[in-house]
Chains A and B, each alone.
Chain A
């Protein structure tokens, strides 16, 4: 029997989580195993964080050792680009919370929920 669709805290329908067990690694493309086999390791997220933080620290240190001649005065400050990149990205992403609440409507709001084109492999 079909379960009724779930709703989020704001009362909108959300897609239920896939409850069936995920396919095993034997279904993986051989090239995927070769190129991305390391991705599924539980240590990867923390390793990526370490690599990124180390790179960021290295870039900041380099900035202190390099005299820059920017046309925009404020950009000559050490770490300006680092701060700007971090803040701009954070602002863009965090704005998604209020904007989502303000602007998100039902998928069929315009009566155009079905956008699957005819030329997909299992198209209509």
Chain B
């Protein structure tokens, strides 16, 4: 019995339950299922045997490996399932069966894609994540959400099409679709697959779908969206493109540029979206480094990030739910009415800023160390800059302008209990995996799940260069340097505020690279449409006129009443026949 259960892909189970959930009208029954399903899926995942193909289906002579677990896929799937469970609790105050069902199906598709053993299975669940998640934006019900959802869907489907192209090339050249890591861009299909993952991972300057859509989603939807799509792409990169140097530089740029946009952005859910982008940069950079320490860093960072970023989105969602806005210029002083949300938000902020004793500290430091070990000094300096930037936008801006700062005079009720419960569990995890290892808690638990590439105890399988030794985040050096970085950045904030040098939060739209296709691109298409609207009828009239004139000329020449028909008809015909015959004979002779 246990053997059979161990062969069921927990993600597939969630997808089916999610779709079925859309048909269950009874709110409490549906929600009980939504909360229980991730727990059952988690049990199934723990029962699974590692490193073997647990479920294989043959379709059109292609072997689809529906379920395969190893340490890399396990940690991502585990994080997705925990996030799915928290999201279900967070959504308990709502009654929207389509939203509930699609949220679970989306989470399930991400889990199933992570546990897929071949490119075709990955592609199928990749597409299900795209289609199911769009409902989380659409259900916000605004015109902005509708338009963003359409752009989001277009981009996600485009990513899927690229992946399909890539896997077709791979299959044609190798006859197999197993998830073998690429070693070069020259391999068939590598560029297509890379581009597909790049779009989903929200690479810089690539369609900007993340910052466009997440802030326009529903309160719950933004929390759900923050966990899955981009981290699935991170997993896919770690699986298929480890050690690609290009990723190091892309990741470094990705960590830096959102910092500047987050400073001037007023919508705090959009600030969190920029922050999400910045965090993905660290993971991409680590995957580009590709050493065991770096890949472990990317996986640990993804796990910690899913929880603390979810927590931050939950706290802003709670504010949005109660106040009706998440704009910094309209908020402030909410600690007076939402104390628990304030505390949970601060825990999320401290975690993402990588203060010692919190999850970001033990996760992000591995990436920083891996970059330094490999001698990428400029990249390391960029990541260090971005670390101070994280403190600015997520560590200070989010909690300060929402809960402290200028008192907006807004007094609301504390967030609903289910929201607080979800935030409380997430906050607990942020602390539990950030502590030194004490009695089953602490970073040792997180590290024990990381990919092991050497024969060594689970918590010491982290390598740095040629030297095999455990990675220890809690060293005097590391604590001191990290605290220096953060405390002096905090000091800069206090001084900038005190001397009035901190830019005020102002309402407005901040232009980003999506401006190119949303304004000039759109206007160009509109202009082309207008031109065609006017030129089309004019051209039709011109061609009709020319046609009529040509017909009239031909008719006046060749018709029975035409010029050629008048007199000497037989002589003329005989003469033309002789001329044509002569031409034909000449051609034949010369040929």
Contacts and interface: CB of A to CB of B under 8 A. Distances in A.
Interface of A: 8, 12-15, 18, 20, 22-23, 27-29, 31-32, 34-36, 39, 45, 48-49, 52-53, 55-56, 59-60, 62-63, 66, 68-72, 74-75, 79, 81-86, 88-97, 99-100, 103-124
B476 interface: yes
A104 B140 contact: no
Contacts of B511: 103-105, 109
Contact of B392 (A92, A97, A109): A92
A49 B487 CA distance: 11
19 contacts: A22-B407, A23-B409, A27-B411, A32-B342, A39-B335, A52-B491, A53-B491, A56-B491, A59-B483, A68-B480, A79-B484, A88-B489, A93-B392, A100-B264, A100-B506, A110-B144, A112-B143, A117-B221, A119-B219
Given A71-B373, A83-B488, A52 B320 contact: no
Interface residues of B, number: 90
A85 B492 contact: yes
B321 A119 contact: yes
A59 B147 CA distance: 50
Give the secondary structure class of B's interface. Answer: helix
Contacts of B324: 116, 120-123
Contact of A86 (B325, B335, B491, B507): B491
B350 to A, nearest CB: 15
A72 to B, nearest CB: 5
Given A32-B337, A119-B140, A82 B485 contact: yes
A27 B338 CA distance: 12
Contact of A85 (B94, B320, B487, B503): B487
A20 B407 CA distance: 12
B481 A68 contact: yes
B494 A32 contact: no
A122 B323 CA distance: 8
Nearest to A88: B388
B486 interface: yes
Interface stretch (B210-218, B436-444, B564-572): B210-218
Given A81-B485, A83-B488, A115-B216, A27 B263 contact: no
Nearest to B270: A115
Contacts of B340: 31
B541 to A, nearest CB: 35
Contacts of B127: none
Contact of B481 (A81, A111, A117): A81
A108 to B, nearest CB: 8
A72 B377 contact: yes
B527 interface: no
Contact of A104 (B335, B408, B506): B506
B456 interface: no
Contacts of B142: 112, 114-118
Contact of B493 (A29, A63, A89, A122): A89
Given A79-B484, A88-B489, A29 B414 contact: yes
B509 A109 contact: yes
Contact of B490 (A18, A52, A79, A111): A52
Contacts of B343: 35
B143 A104 contact: no
Interface string B244-266: 00000000000000011101100
A82 B483 CA distance: 9
